[in-house]
Amino acid sequence: SVNVGWGLAFLAGLGTWALAAYVIDVSGSQRELLEGATALFASVMVLWLGVWMHDRRHAAAWQDYIKSSLVGGGGRFGFATLAFFSVYRELFEVILFYETLWLQAGPAGHNAVLAGGATAVVLLIGLAWVILRGSAKLPLALFFSINAGLLCALSVVFAGHGVKALQEAGIFGTRPVPFFEFDWLGIHADAYSLSAQAVAILAIVVLYGRSRMAERRRVQVS
């Protein structure tokens, strides 16, 4: 049942990737508009994923999540459903992330994106082999905390890039301010772009604060 679930999720992921590639290909005349919209959507998604990983960085929280996902699922169907949504969610976010990078890198940076993706696949296979062999236990709290931090940082970067791309598409104007530029981090000397990143940072602070409060309540109850 688990194999059926992740297998269907993999096929759905391939379909999603093909659809995303098709949309990007036929929208060449509005590249900046597509890049901006995709980057802003990716900013929201990776922020959500970062907070989600932060909430489940402890083994107990992760086990509670799995148990709650299986409630009402009924045996094999419950495991298959959990496997499908767990795998497809990750595939969808990976596709969204790499399509966003692909757009932002441009033709000159496509080889770098491919090289980075290939390296990630090799590392992931190696990590999976080590875990499945049972020779090492993954430090769940550290793994989730580091990834949550990286994803939240990417959310801020994508917010800045998204607004910049929409400005280049002519969706709205610019408002220069005396500030430093760091294109690699999505930082531009523009009030709208910086405001979008400030909103992303504020959302991170609020969501993480709410997460910490919920964690303290769980500790008090237990």
- Alpha-carbon separation of residue 121 from 90, 117, 149 (angstroms): 14, 6, 21
In this predicted structure, the answer to whether residue 34 has a pLDDT above a threshold of 90 is: no
Asked if residue 210 lies in contact with residue 202, where contact means CB atoms within 8 angstroms, the answer is no
What's residue 202's pLDDT?
A: 95
pTM as predicted: 0.66
- The pair of structure tokens assigned to 182 is 């760091």
pLDDT in tens, 95-127: 777 877 777 777 788 888 889 889 988 988 887
pLDDT in tens, 157-195: 989 988 998 888 888 888 999 988 888 888 999 999 999
In this predicted structure, the answer to whether residue 75 has a pLDDT above a threshold of 90 is: no
Higher pLDDT, residue 120 or 22: 120
Q: How confident is the model at residue 214 (pLDDT cuts 50, 70, 90)?
A: confident
- The pair of structure tokens assigned to 33 is 């508009």
Question: What do you get for the CA distance between the two ends of the chain, in Å?
Answer: 34
What's residue 66's pLDDT?
A: 58
- Alpha-carbon separation of residue 222 from 98, 168, 211, 216 (angstroms): 41, 53, 17, 10
pLDDT in tens, 137-150: 666 677 778 878 88
Can you tell me whether residue 134 is helix, strand or coil?
Answer: coil
CA 116-16-96 angle, to 5 degrees, is 45
What's residue 27's pLDDT?
A: 54
- Which residues are CB-neighbours of 88 under 8 A, at least 6 positions away? 9, 12, 13
